[in-house]
Amino acid sequence: MDIHTLMFGWEYPPHHLGGLGVACQGLVQGLLGNGVQVTLVLPHPSNTAETADMHVITPTETLLKTVHVLSFLSPYDGHVQFRKRAANMPRELTEIYGADLPQAVLHFTAMSVEMTKDTNPDIVHCHDWMTYGAAAQAAAYHDVPLVAHIHATELDRTHFHPNEWIFAAERRGLLAADRIIAVSNYTKQILTTHYGIAPDKISVVHNGSATCTDTRPPVIASQAGEGRPPMILFLGRLTIQKGPMQFLDMAAKVHQLRPDVQFIMAGEGGMIGEIMRRACELRLENVVAFAGKVSNDEAERLYRQASCFVMPSLSEPFGLVALEAIAHGTPAIISKQSGVSEVVGHAFKVDFWDTEKMADCALTILRDAPLAQQLTSEAPRVLQHLTWINQASQVRSIYQDLIQ
Amino acid sequence: MSHPSPLICLYFQVHQPYRLRDLRITDIGKGEAHYFDDEKNRAIFRKVAEKCYLPANALILDLLKTYPQFSVSYCLSGVFLDQCEEYGTDVLDSFHALSATGKVEFVAETYYHSLSSLKSLEEFCTQVTMHTEKIEQLFGKRPTVLRNTELIYSNELAQVARLMGFKGILAEGADHILAGRSPNSPFVPPAFRLPRKAEALIRKHRPYPRAAKDIHVLLKNYRLSDDVAFRFSDRSWIGYPLLSETFTDWLTASGGHSVNLFMDYETFGEHQWRETGIFDFLRSLPNLWEQRGIRAATPSDVIQMWGKKQTETFDAHQFISWADMERDLSAWQENLIQRSALDSLFALESLVKEVADPALTALWRTLQTSDHFYYMCTKYFSDGDVHKYFNPYDSPYEAYRRFSHAICDLRTRLEAKHSPS
C-alpha cells in the first residue's frame, strides 16, 4: 500500500537549532526508505519567492516534497524571544505576520493549510505544538487521520512552569489528534499525567540515530589525551531545560578532588550570563570554558576529546545529543529524567538534582580505565538497532493502522 | 513390568548476598566506611523470610513428619547464615527444626558464596572449610557433598573436592557434555592428578583428614527442575497449569537412578508467588509419590544407593554453571568491568593475608560473593533488553561504581595497616 503523508515540521537541517530538526530529518528519510511518500511543510524565515513553491530538494529524495511557508516562527520560540526578534523586523513584515507569537502562528496555520490544498494525502503528521493548528485544519480539510508527534512539551522546556497559552495550544492539538507518537515512555508519562491524554492513544517510538558509529579506534582522553588534561563535556542549549546549573554544581564537586580536570560547555542560549556568574561564584573560572554554538565538526572533536559527556537535563523527552556522544565513543552520564535513558544501557543514569552522584560517576570514569573502555566500546552497539529505518517502520505501521 | 521409579533428589539453594550501599568516592580512605546497605539487606531478608523461608520451611517440616519416604537437602550459604543471625533467628530456628527430623542433608559450599574457585585454590579451600565447620557447628553434622557457587564446576574442581574429602559434588546437567546421555545417573569426573603444589595446598586447607577415594557428580535435570523453578506460573507455557500428577508422570518417565531437582529455594513463594499455587503443588507431591512407590533421597543417599555400578564419565574441560542459556561463567565474568572487578579484588589477596586483620579479611571475602559480579552483567543489552537481569541497583554500572569504591577503600585500609606510618 502506498502511503502519502503530509507532514508539518518546524525545522530541518541545515537550518536547525536543536534535536527536533535532526529527528525530523531522520524520520523523513526513514519514512522515504520505508516507501512512504512525504510532503513536508516548513516555516521558513527567508523572504524569497521561490521558497513558497513546492519543489524537490535533492534528486535522491524523489518521494519527498517540501513546502516552505513564509514565517518568522522559529523552533523553541517563546513569547519573549519572538518579541525580541519581531522588534528587529522591518515594519512591513511585522504588519503582515504579526508582532506577537499567537498571531504569527495563526498566520502560519492559515497559509500552510491554503498551500497544501492540492496535496491529497492519506494522513497528516505534525511535529510539536506550533504546527498542531495547521495540521488539525489540514486533516479536517482532507478528511484523513491526524498524527501528532511529541518531541518536547512546554513542561519540558520550562521545567514545569508553562506558558499557559502554549500549554493550552498543545493540549488542544493533542486532543484533536487520532494518534500521538511520543519519543519516549518518559514523555508518554508526562502526556498522561499532566495533559490528561488517554494512554492507549499514545504510541512510543524512540528516536533513531542518524550518526553512524565512529569507526576510528577509540581514544580514551584520560589515558591518551596527548598531554591534555582530562575534559568533561556539556553540549546543549544553555536553557533551564538542559541543566547547565547542575553541570556547574557537578563540575565544582569534581574540581575539589581532581583540580586537573577541565570542563567545556558548548551551546548558546539565554542563560549564558547567569551561568558565567555562577561559574565564577564556584571559583571555576579557570577550569570551565564556553565554546558557544559549535558546528558538527567541532562537536565531533569535542566528543572525541572528552573523558566523559554529561547530560544533566531537568526534563528531556529524548536527548539525541547523548546518542551522538555515545556514537563517538564518549562515556556518558545521563539524566534519569530523559527518554534516551530508556534505550541506552551502557551509561550512568543519575537524577538531575543529584549532582553529587553525577560527580561521583564522572570521577569513577576518570579513575577506572576498564570502566571507561567498556563504556566506549559497548555503548555504541545500541545504535545498530536504533536506526531511523527501524524507527520509521514503526511509524509506518501506525499510519497503516489508522488508515484501515 | 515397568521399570522401577527413579529416586527424587530435591536440593534447594538458600542464599542472600550483602548488597552494597551507595558508596561515594569521598568515603574512601576515611577508615570508617561501611560498605553494606544494612537497611535494604534487612528489608529483603525479612520480605523473603515472610514470603518463602518461613512458610516453605513450615510446609517441608510437615511433609517430612508425615511422609517417611520424603527427604530434602539444602545448601545454606555462610552469608545467608550470618544474615539469619543478624535479621532472623526465627528463620534459623525453622532450619534447626528441619534438621532435627534427621531427614535433611546440608550440602557444603564456599562460606561467602564466592567466585574464589576461579581465582585462588587456597582461598576456595579455606572458605569451603569455614562453611563445613559452620554447618557442623549449627546442625551437628559435617557435609559430605559439595556444591560450588551457582553450580560452577569443572573436572579440576571435582578433583579438588575429592582431595578435600568430599564424596559427591553437584553440577549442571549441561547438554553439550552429556551429549545425549541422561542426567539421571551419577557420573564420575575423569581421573587425573593435580600438580603436587596444588595437592599440598589442598591438604593444608581441607575439612577432612584425607581425600575421598571416589567422587560422584550428581547432575541437575534442568528441564524438570526449570519446569517448577521458572515455568510453573508461565501462562504461555504449554505445560501450564502444572499439576502434581502430570509432573510426577514426567518424573517417572524420565527414568534412570535419580531425578535431581536443583533450584533456588526462593522458587517457593518469592519467584513463584503463593497465589500461583506453588505451595499446594509442593504439598501434594510426597503424598502422590508415596501412593506410586516413589521415594525421595538426599544427594549422599543417591550416591550410596548407586553402589559400585559401572559409572560414566562427565568430562567438563571448561567451567560450566547453572546460569542462563549459556551455562558458563558469562553471567559473572563476561564484560570488562566484571573481570576487572574480580582481578582487582584478588590482587589484594597477598596483602589481605599479610595484614591478617580478621575484620578486613571478612570484608574482602564478602566482596567475593558472586552476586556482586552478576549485578554488573550486561550480556543481553545488545538485544535491546536493558532490564533482563535482576538487579537491586539501577544498573550494572551502578553496581560496578559501588563495588569499585569498596575495593579502593579496602586497599587503602589494608595499606595503612601494612605499613602504619
Q: Do A378 and B401 touch (CB under 8 A)?
A: no
Nearest CA in chain B to A368: B404
Element (H, E) at B76: strand B72-76
Q: Do A360 and B400 touch (CB under 8 A)?
A: no
CATH of domain A3-208+387-403: 3.40.50.2000
SS3 B172: strand
Most confident of A84-93, A136-145, B98-107: B98-107
Cα gap A300→A233, rounded to integer Å: 12
Q: Do B381 and A373 touch (CB under 8 A)?
A: no
pLDDT at A74 over 80: no
Cell numbers at A322, concatenated: 547523548
Disruptive mutation site among A206, A258, A364 for chain B (greatest number of B CBs within 10 Å) = A364
CB-nearest partner of B381 from A345, A364, A371: A345
Q: What is the pLDDT of residue A47?
A: 38
Higher pLDDT: B370 or A80? It is: B370
355-374 of A, contacting B, C-beta below 8 A: 356-357, 360-361, 363-364, 367-368, 370-371, 373-374
Nearest CA in chain A to B381: A345
Q: Do A364 and B398 touch (CB under 8 A)?
A: no
Chain A nearest C-alpha distance from B337 (Å): 6
Q: Do A378 and B378 touch (CB under 8 A)?
A: yes
Nearest CA in chain B to A331: B397
Class of domain B7-306: alpha beta
Cα gap B122→B116, rounded to integer Å: 9
Is A221-384 a domain of CATH 3.40.50.2000? yes
pLDDT at A52 over 70: no
Least confident of A8-22, A122-136, A158-172, B60-74: A8-22
What is the arithmetic mean of pLDDT over B98-104? 97
Contact A160, A315 (CB under 8 A): yes
Element (H, E) at A58: none
Q: What is the pLDDT of residue A265?
A: 97
Q: Do A370 and B401 touch (CB under 8 A)?
A: no
Contacts of A357 in chain B (CB under 8 A): 22, 24
Q: What is the pLDDT of residue A133?
A: 85
Contacts of A375 in chain B (CB under 8 A): 397
CB-based contact, B388 to chain A, within 8 Å:
no
Cβ–Cβ pairs < 8 A, chains A and B: 66
CB-nearest partner of A373 from B24, B336, B400: B336
Give the start-to-end residue ranges of the domains of chain A: 3-208+387-403, 221-384
Element (H, E) at A20: helix A19-33
Cα gap B408→B421, rounded to integer Å: 19
Task: Report the length, in residues, of chain A.
Answer: 404
Cell numbers at A256, concatenated: 575539589
CB-based contact, A349 to chain B, within 8 Å:
yes
Element (H, E) at B97: helix B89-100
What is the arithmetic mean of pLDDT over A111-131? 85
Q: Mean pLDDT across chain B, nearest whole number?
A: 94
Q: Which residue has the cell 510539536?
A: A128
Chain B nearest C-alpha distance from A163 (Å): 34
Disruptive mutation site among B20, B24, B25 for chain A (greatest number of A CBs within 10 Å) = B25
Higher pLDDT: A219 or B46? It is: B46
CB-based contact, A326 to chain B, within 8 Å:
no
Q: Do B381 and A378 touch (CB under 8 A)?
A: yes
Contacts of B398 in chain A (CB under 8 A): 348
Q: What is the pLDDT of residue A10?
A: 72
What is the arithmetic mean of pLDDT over A35-52? 62
Least confident of B142-146, B362-366, B379-383: B379-383
CB-based contact, A346 to chain B, within 8 Å:
yes
Q: What is the pLDDT of residue A61?
A: 41
Nearest CA in chain A to B403: A364
Q: What is the pLDDT of residue A23?
A: 85
Contact A254, A282 (CB under 8 A): no
pLDDT at A48 over 50: no
pLDDT at A157 over 90: no
CB-based contact, A213 to chain B, within 8 Å:
no
Q: Do B394 and A349 touch (CB under 8 A)?
A: yes
Cell numbers at A206, concatenated: 524512540
Contacts of A361 in chain B (CB under 8 A): 397, 401
CB-based contact, B144 to chain A, within 8 Å:
no
pLDDT at B401 over 90: yes
Q: What are phi and psi of A110, to 5 degrees?
A: -65, -45
- Which of B144, B148, B131, B303 has its CA nearest to residue B217? B303
Contacts of A379 in chain B (CB under 8 A): none
Higher pLDDT: A74 or B314? It is: B314
- Which of B13, B130, B124, B2 has its CA nearest to residue B74? B13
Contacts of A356 in chain B (CB under 8 A): 24
C-alpha distance from residue A9 to each of A125, A285, B68, B315, B350 (Å)? 9, 40, 77, 64, 65
- Which of B70, B78, B212, B99 has its CA nearest to residue B145? B212
Q: Give the residue numbers of B annotated as catalytic, written as ranges.
A: 150
- Enumerate the β-bridge partners of residue A264: A233, A289
CB-based contact, B267 to chain A, within 8 Å:
no
Chain A nearest C-alpha distance from B381 (Å): 6
What is the arithmetic mean of pLDDT over B186-210? 95
pLDDT category of residue B384 using cuts at 50, 70 and 90: low
pLDDT category of residue B212 using cuts at 50, 70 and 90: very high
Element (H, E) at A264: strand A262-266
Q: What is the pLDDT of residue A178?
A: 95
- pTM (two decimals): 0.89
- Enumerate the β-bridge partners of residue A149: A127, A181
Q: Do A257 and B26 touch (CB under 8 A)?
A: yes
Q: What is the pLDDT of residue A65?
A: 61
Q: What is the pLDDT of residue A111?
A: 78
What is the arithmetic mean of pLDDT over B305-332? 91
Chain B nearest C-alpha distance from A343 (Å): 7
Cα gap A178→A153, rounded to integer Å: 18
pLDDT at B389 over 80: no
Nearest CA in chain A to B341: A370
Q: Do B335 and A343 touch (CB under 8 A)?
A: no
Q: What is the pLDDT of residue B343?
A: 97
pLDDT at A59 over 60: no
Q: What is the pLDDT of residue A57?
A: 31
Q: What is the pLDDT of residue A112?
A: 77
Q: Which residue has the cell 501506525?
A: A398
In chain B, % of residues over pLDDT 70: 97
325-344 of B, contacting A, C-beta below 8 A: 335-337, 339-340
Q: Do A371 and B386 touch (CB under 8 A)?
A: no
Q: Do B397 and A371 touch (CB under 8 A)?
A: yes
Cα gap A291→B212, rounded to integer Å: 72
Contacts of A371 in chain B (CB under 8 A): 336-337, 340, 397, 400, 404
Q: What are phi and psi of A44, to 5 degrees?
A: -140, 120
Cα gap B142→B356, rounded to integer Å: 27
Domain A3-208+387-403 identical in fold to domain A221-384: yes
CB-based contact, A378 to chain B, within 8 Å:
yes
pLDDT category of residue A165 using cuts at 50, 70 and 90: confident
Q: Do B384 and A343 touch (CB under 8 A)?
A: yes
Contacts of A387 in chain B (CB under 8 A): none
pLDDT category of residue B33 using cuts at 50, 70 and 90: confident
What is the arithmetic mean of pLDDT over A23-47? 81
Nearest CA in chain A to B398: A348
